[in-house]
């Protein structure tokens, strides 16, 4: 019985090593997916197109006319423009 | 008891993972907030410079010089200048413009083609936000990497208030107008110059 108890403690150690290896594997896997897919870059680069348009032209859609453009500050058709 | 002690180490790895991930997001939000605040500051600098460019003076060159002076004064201000000197943000002097921005801003060049009267006169500069471009450990860069290299974050910031005509421009315009009036009828050109006075109200 005494010998069995000792071997059981060793089993825990092995399981610990396996769990740590698994955790590190998941950690490396997730981080490599993040790097390959450039998730962190996408978080900012996608909305940045709209943000820079707002900074530059005061509109969310890139390519829209600046408020100083005559088609925006002069309108003979009222709401149609 | 020994088994319980060894279990506590497992949390370290999870904590490390979560800490780096949350830390990365926090840094990104901090960088974005700082960028938006700096955009407002640069917007004010260009507005202030454009306001100096707008006001009438003797010649257009004096208007330009005053706008340039105000821009330099604000960019080198002891409170604001650290923003542009510590590497977080860069004001691209190559894109800096006082006057017609359609020549330097590629996005505005089409405006000029559309309509010659659609002018954008003021002050503009290109702000690059280097603070948004960093690497999160294990998770990669915050900037998209393409075949052309790293895509940075930046935008043209400008104020387009226009430009008032100057004293000399007004004088020249009134002179040309008087010549045109004189050419309408011979009796006008024969009028005694002593009785002709063109009032100037510092505007056209």
Q: Does A40 reach chain B within 8 Å, measured CB to CB?
A: yes
Which residues in chain B are closer than 8 Å to A51, comparing Cβ atoms?
155
Task: Let me know if residue A14 belongs to a domain.
Answer: yes
Task: Let me know if residue B4 belongs to a domain.
Answer: no
B171: pLDDT confidence band, cut at 50, 70 and 90?
confident
Domain with A30, as residue range(s), is 1-37
The pLDDT score that the predictor gives to residue A2 is 54
CB-CB under 8 Å, A66 with B115: no
Per residue in B92-133, pLDDT (tens digit) is 887 888 988 877 777 777 776 656 667 788 999 999 999 998
B1: pLDDT confidence band, cut at 50, 70 and 90?
very low
A15: pLDDT confidence band, cut at 50, 70 and 90?
confident
Specify whether A32 is located in the same domain as A1.
yes
Task: Let me know if residue A47 belongs to a domain.
Answer: yes
Which residues in chain A are closer than 8 Å to B151, comparing Cβ atoms?
45
> In which residue are the tokens 């088609």 written?
A71
Q: What percent of chain B is predicted at pLDDT more than 70? A: 87
Domain with B26, as residue range(s), is 11-163
Q: Does A68 reach chain B within 8 Å, measured CB to CB?
A: yes
Nearest chain A alpha carbon to B155: A52
Domains contained in chain A, number: 2
Specify whether B133 is located in the same domain as B186.
no
Nearest C-alpha neighbor of B154 from the set A11, A20, A52, A12:
A52
Which residues in chain B are closer than 8 Å to A57, comparing Cβ atoms?
107
Domains contained in chain B, number: 2
pTM listed for this prediction:
0.77
SS (H, E, C) chain B: CHHHHHHCCHHHHHHHHHHHHHHHHHHHHHHHHHHHHHHHHHHHHHHHHHHHHHCCCCCHHHHHHHHHHHHHHHHCCCCCHHHHHCCCEEEEEEEEEEEEHHHCCHHHHHHHHHCCCCCCEEEEEEEEEHHHCCEECCCEECCCEECCEECCCEEEEEECCCCCCCHHHHHHHHHHHHHHHHCCCHHHHCCCHHHCCCCCCCCC
Specify whether B128 is located in the same domain as B196.
no
Task: Let me know if residue B6 belongs to a domain.
Answer: no
Specify whether B53 is located in the same domain as B137.
yes
CB-CB under 8 Å, A41 with B144: yes
Distance from CA of B132 to the nearest CA of A (A): 9
Task: Let me know if residue A78 belongs to a domain.
Answer: no
Specify whether A27 is located in the same domain as A44.
no
Specify whether A32 is located in the same domain as A44.
no
Nearest chain B alpha carbon to A10: B3
ipTM above 0.85, yes or no: no
Task: Let me know if residue B179 belongs to a domain.
Answer: yes
Residue B26 Cα distances to A44, B19, B32, B37, B132, angstroms:
13, 10, 10, 17, 12
pLDDT at A81 over 50: no
Task: Let me know if residue B137 belongs to a domain.
Answer: yes
The pLDDT score that the predictor gives to residue A3 is 57
Nearest C-alpha neighbor of B135 from the set A23, A47, A38, A30:
A38
Per residue in B63-98, pLDDT (tens digit) is 999 999 999 999 999 999 999 998 899 998 878 889
Q: Does A18 reach chain B within 8 Å, measured CB to CB?
A: no
Distance from CA of A44 to the nearest CA of B (A): 7
B26: pLDDT confidence band, cut at 50, 70 and 90?
very high
Tell which of A28, A33, A58, A68 to mutate to test the B interface (max B CBs under 10 Å): A68
Mean pLDDT of the region B141-158: 84
Which 111-150 residues of chain B touch chain A by CB within 8 A? 111, 115, 117-118, 120, 132, 136, 138-145
Contact between A23 and B13 under an 8 Å Cβ cutoff? The reply is: yes
Among partner residues A23, A39, A52, which is closest to B13 by beta-carbon distance?
A23
Task: Let me know if residue A81 belongs to a domain.
Answer: no
Specify whether B119 is located in the same domain as B139.
yes
Alpha-carbon distance of B179 to B189, in angstroms, equals 9
CB-CB under 8 Å, B141 with A38: yes
pLDDT at B2 over 60: no
């Amino acid at each position: 019985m005494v010998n069995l108890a000792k071997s059981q403690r060793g089993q825990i150690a092995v399981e610990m090593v396996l769990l740590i290896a698994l955790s590190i594997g998941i950690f490396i896997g997730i981080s490599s997916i993040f790097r390959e897919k450039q998730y962190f870059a996408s978080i900012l680069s996608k909305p940045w197109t709209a943000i820079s348009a707002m900074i530059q032209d005061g509109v969310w859609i890139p390519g829209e006319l600046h408020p100083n453009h005559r088609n925006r500050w002069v309108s003979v058709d009222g709401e149609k423009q | 008891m020994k088994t319980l002690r060894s279990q506590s180490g497992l949390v370290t790895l999870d904590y490390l993972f979560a800490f780096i991930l949350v830390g990365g997001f926090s840094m990104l939000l901090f960088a974005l907030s700082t960028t938006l605040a700096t955009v407002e500051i640069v917007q004010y600098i260009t507005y202030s410079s454009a306001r100096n460019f707008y006001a009438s003076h003797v010649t257009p060159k004096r208007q330009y010089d005053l706008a340039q002076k105000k821009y330099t004064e604000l960019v080198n201000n002891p409170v604001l200048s650290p923003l542009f000197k510590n590497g977080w943000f860069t004001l691209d002097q190559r894109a800096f413009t006082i006057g017609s921005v359609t020549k330097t801003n590629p996005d505005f060049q089409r405006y000029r083609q559309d309509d010659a009267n659609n002018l954008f006169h003021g002050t503009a500069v290109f702000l690059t936000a280097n603070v948004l471009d960093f690497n999160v450990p294990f998770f990669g860069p915050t900037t998209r990497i393409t075949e052309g290299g790293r895509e940075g974050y930046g935008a043209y910031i400008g104020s387009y208030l226009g430009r008032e005509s100057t004293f000399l421009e007004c004088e020249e315009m009134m002179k040309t107008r008087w010549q045109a009036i004189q050419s309408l009828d011979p009796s006008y050109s024969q009028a005694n110059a002593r009785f002709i006075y063109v009032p100037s109200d510092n505007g056209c």
